[in-house]
Amino acid sequence: MDEISVKIDSAIQTLLTDFKRIPNKYLTEDDVRMHLCSILMNDFGNEEKTKDGDLSIPLHSEIRWWGQDELNERTDIVILDVTDLSVTKDVIDDLYSFGRIPRKGYASSTPLAAIELKFRRVDGVGNSDFIKQVEADINKLVGLKAMLKDDYSKDLVCRVVALDKKEQISEMEIQVPSELLHYKFSNKKGQDQT
């Protein structure tokens, strides 16, 4: 396992432990993103020089992916290689004029990691629908990973974090590699958790 995977998995484990301890600290999926990003900032929040000589950090949210077959997916959290990120207007305008990238205000061909989040409240959807949502995110990341490996020879670190306050789902109901999916159940009162 590479250094990026280790740091991401450590941050996710910290989040899962916190969710188990204080489940009602997490009221929305945006809360999950905020808390996970605050943990990830320790390793991915340092300012670095961009490809075009400006400054940014590796950690970003709500990033859109543009690829073949008019792929236009959004990912909750992305970690980029800042040294291959362009953010200045002149450089971006030149890239736009050649039609090499869609208009999004930045350009990067070196994503390092993508994280999808799912959160189910006590009154949320049933198990079947929640599993379908989690599986859709898994399939999205598997597709992104394949696209990037084919187009950029990059091995994207992919993770899905699913926090559940409604009902425990057994590992047998969602069958994916354990490093890809991090699932945690915690009931409303934070008791009887596994």
Domain membership flag for residue 193: no
Burial degree of 77 (CB within 10 A; 0-12, 13-18, 19+): buried
Domain membership flag for residue 190: no
Scanning the structure block, which residue is given the tokens 């600290």? 25
- Successive 10-residue mean pLDDT values, the chain, 194 residues: 91 97 96 98 94 87 68 84 72 47 54 94 94 92 80 78 93 72 79 43
Separation between Cα atoms, residue 119 and residue 140, nearest integer Å: 17
Domain membership flag for residue 168: yes
Separation between Cα atoms, residue 16 and residue 5, nearest integer Å: 16
Q: Which of 77, 48, 56 is nearest to 65 (CA)?
A: 77
DSSP for 121-173 reads -TT---HHHHHHHHHHHHHHHHHHHHHHHHHH----EEEEEEEESS----GGG
149: which residues sit within 8 A by CB, 6+ positions away? Answer: 155, 156
Separation between Cα atoms, residue 72 and residue 105, nearest integer Å: 16
Separation between Cα atoms, residue 157 and residue 176, nearest integer Å: 15
In contact, 65 and 74? CB cutoff 8 Å: yes
Domain membership flag for residue 23: yes
Q: What's the pLDDT score for residue 191?
A: 46
The reported pTM is: 0.85
Domain membership flag for residue 80: yes
Domain boundaries, position 106: 3-185
Cβ count within 10 A of residue 191? 8
Number of domains in the chain: 1
Domain membership flag for residue 100: yes
Cβ count within 10 A of residue 38? 12
Domain membership flag for residue 192: no
- List 191's β-bridge partners, or say none: none
Separation between Cα atoms, residue 72 and residue 56, nearest integer Å: 24
Domain membership flag for residue 114: yes
Separation between Cα atoms, residue 154 and residue 78, nearest integer Å: 14
